[in-house]
Every structure is written in C-alpha cells, then in structure tokens.
C-alpha cells in the first residue's frame, strides 16, 4: 500500500508543517487517505511575496502566543532558508483551549504560489491538529519524542554509543521502500560518524505476513552476533526480499542471511520463537506507535520525524539543522 507521505490537506496541513512538497513512497498499516486533486491556479509570482499586514481583530485567542507559533515554525521549517511565513490569525474557537491558527507561507524565490496554512492548537499546548494529523507543537516540538527515542530505541546501531545526535530508522524487512532507503543509511554513516544511527524494527504485520518473523530473526542475530552481524544479515534479507512472499521462501531467505552473518540458522530460529524475542518485537512496534509512526520507512532525528527515502540532500539538510537546534556538533 502506498501513499503520499507528505500531502496537502486543506491548503497546506502536514506538508506545510514538516517538509517541502514532494512525493515519497512509503508503506503503512492503515488505509491511505485519498490524494487531493491539484487546483487550477494563476502563474506563480516571480519575486518573494509581500504578505498583507495582519489585522489585530484576528488575534482573539490568548494562547498560543505569536512567539510560540513562530518558534514552532522556525523549528519545523527553518532548515529551508528559502521559506518565509507570517502568522496571520490566532482565533478563538467554540471549544475552550482550542485555537485556530492561520499562517501565510511563501518562498523567497517566488517559484511557489503563496499558500495558507491552517491548523488548530490543542489544550495541552503540546500538539496541533493539521489536516488529519496530530503533530507535536511548542517552542521545542520534538523534545518529548527525542527523550522517548533515547530511552527506548534499542535496535542495532552504527556510529557513536552516545545519543546526542540519534538517527533512528523505523523499517520493515518486507517493505520495498525500506529496501530502497538503505542506500541513504550507508551515506549517513559516512557523513555523520559522530551520530548514533539505529535500525528499529517495525513490522507492518497487516500487509506483510512474514515481517514479524524476519524481525524476530533480526533481534536474535543482533543478540548473538552484535550490530555488525545484524547489518550483514539485514543487507542479505533486503537483497533477497522477494523470497519473503511465502513462509517457505522466508525460511530460505532468513536462513541464508543468518549464514552470511556468520551465525547458526538453527540457533537463530530457536531464539526467534521464544516469548522473550516475540515480546521484544512487540516492544519495538509499541515504540513506533507511541511516537505516532504508522508508515515505513520513517526517520526520527532527535525526535523529529520524516520519511527515510526522500532525496538524500534533503535528509542531510534536515539533520544538520536539527543538530544545530539541539546544540550538537555533528
């Protein structure tokens, strides 16, 4: 099942609050939302837009403040030096504690037509509702997710044992887009040698019936052979991914990958069937769910989520920016 991992809802929604507008293939275990048809619009301007002066009458809600919203947008959008915005309204709604926020968004080059982003801040002050997504909000919107990942992301890793700059990949061995994304991770290991780059298992069992078993094998390979053995195993599994279509094919593919990792397939298979290993797979899935991740491959960089198979230069740009925000020397 594929979907637009970054899509428009209403005017901008999730795409406006996370990434530049492009398509990135992904797989998820919930039904895909229908794609919005492109609207007919006037030719894009050829210079940076001049936003109209905000009307004070449109600032009727006391929370959140404009400063908080600007800090949130800076954290979300600041990696793109070409993007500009203006908070146009912070409006009360009929529901106590929920405010409607309207932001005008454009780019300095004028290549994109200015748009309107509308979203709603929730009473907890830590989330906004945009389109059909609930997203982290605040001056440091990714801090809670960063702490949770640092505490619970326990998959095999490359690079540093420290977690100052933690890049977590949530992936499914049976997901073809995850296979395609592995090239990006090889590049990350070279470009960010001081980062901790974690492979976190997230089998989407509703669409990939062999993914949970493959994940269990992966956990046991890591347990018995360490991270180096795991990454040899994972590369072999992705290379033989077509064999995971059936149970018998999965057995052959997984055993072959275990052998390439220098381990005993019988011992790994026995380990994979134990309650402890099954519980470890479920704990990894639970972490993804608690972080509100429902598709693979997804990257979580110091708590910040985005698709793992977007263009590499964008991935690198976002990581560098997030590291700067967090005061990390990458």
Q: What is the mean pLDDT of the chain?
A: 88
Q: Give the model's pLDDT for residue 220.
A: 98
Instruction: Name the 3-class secondary structure at 87.
Output: strand
Q: Give the model's pLDDT for residue 49.
A: 87
Question: Does the domain formed by 144-325 have CATH 3.90.79.10?
Answer: no
Q: Give the model's pLDDT for residue 110.
A: 80
Beta bridge partners of 129: 120, 134
Instruction: Name the 3-class secondary structure at 143.
Output: helix
Residue pLDDT tens, the chain, 330 long: 323 223 223 333 334 454 443 345 666 654 344 334 334 454 555 688 889 999 999 999 999 999 999 999 999 999 999 999 999 999 999 999 999 999 999 999 888 788 999 999 999 999 999 988 899 999 999 999 999 999 999 999 999 999 999 999 999 999 999 999 999 999 999 999 999 999 999 999 999 999 999 999 999 999 999 999 999 999 999 999 999 999 999 999 999 999 999 999 999 999 999 999 999 999 999 999 999 998 999 999 999 999 998 999 999 999 999 999 999 986
CB 285 within 8 A of CB 47: no
Prediction pTM value: 0.85
3-state secondary structure 232-282: HHHHHHHHCHHHHHCHHHHHHHHHHHHHHCCCCHHHHHHHHCCHHHHHHHH
Q: Give the model's pLDDT for residue 111.
A: 80
pLDDT in tens, 259-292: 999 999 999 999 999 999 999 999 999 999 999 9
Q: Give the model's pLDDT for residue 28.
A: 60
CB atoms within 10 A of CB 53: 8
How far is residue 204's CA from residue 172's CA, in Å, rounded to a whole number? 7
124: buried, middle or exposed (CB in 10 Å: 19+, 13-18, 0-12)? exposed
Beta bridge partners of 281: none
CB 28 within 8 A of CB 295: yes
The ranges assigned to domains in the chain are 13-139, 144-325
Cβ density class 159-185: b for 16+ within 10 Å, e for less? beeebbbbbbbbbbbbbebbbebbebb
285: buried, middle or exposed (CB in 10 Å: 19+, 13-18, 0-12)? buried
Task: Report helix, strand and coil shares of the chain as percent, to nearest 5.
Answer: 40, 20, 40
């Amino acid at each position: 099942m594929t979907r637009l991992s970054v899509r428009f809802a209403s005017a901008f929604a999730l795409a406006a609050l996370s990434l530049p507008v492009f398509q990135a293939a992904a797989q998820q275990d919930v039904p895909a939302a229908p794609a919005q048809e492109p609207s007919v619009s006037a030719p894009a301007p050829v210079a940076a837009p001049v936003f109209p002066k905000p009307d004070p009458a449109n600032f009727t809600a006391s929370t959140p403040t404009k400063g908080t919203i600007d800090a949130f947008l800076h954290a979300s959008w600041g990696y793109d030096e070409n993007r500009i915005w203006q908070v146009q309204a912070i409006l009360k709604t009929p529901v106590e504690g929920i405010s409607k926020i309207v932001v005008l968004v454009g780019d300095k080059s004028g290549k994109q037509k200015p748009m309107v982003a509308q979203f709603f801040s929730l009473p907890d002050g830590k989330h906004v509702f945009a389109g059909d997504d609930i997203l982290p909000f605040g001056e440091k919107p990714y801090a809670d997710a960063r702490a949770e990942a640092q505490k619970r992301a326990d998959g095999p890793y490359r690079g540093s044992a420290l977690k100052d700059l933690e890049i977590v990949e949530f992936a499914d061995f049976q997901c073809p887009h995850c296979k395609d994304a592995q090239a990006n991770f090889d590049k990350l290991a070279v470009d960010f040698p001081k980062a901790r780059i974690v492979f976190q298992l997230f089998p989407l069992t509703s669409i990939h019936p062999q993914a949970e078993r493959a994940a269990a094998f992966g956990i046991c390979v890591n347990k018995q052979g360490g991270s180096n053995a795991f990454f040899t195993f994972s590369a072999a599994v992705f290379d033989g991914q077509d064999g995971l279509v059936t149970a018998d094919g999965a057995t052959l593919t997984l055993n072959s990958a275990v052998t390439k990792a220098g381990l005993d397939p019988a011992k790994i298979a026995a380990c994979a069937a134990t309650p402890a290993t099954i519980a470890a797979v479920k704990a990894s899935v639970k972490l993804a769910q608690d972080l509100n991740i429902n598709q693979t491959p997804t990257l979580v960089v110091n708590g910040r989520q985005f698709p793992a198979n977007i263009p590499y230069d964008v991935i690198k740009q976002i990581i560098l920016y997030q590291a700067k925000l967090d005061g990390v020397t990458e």
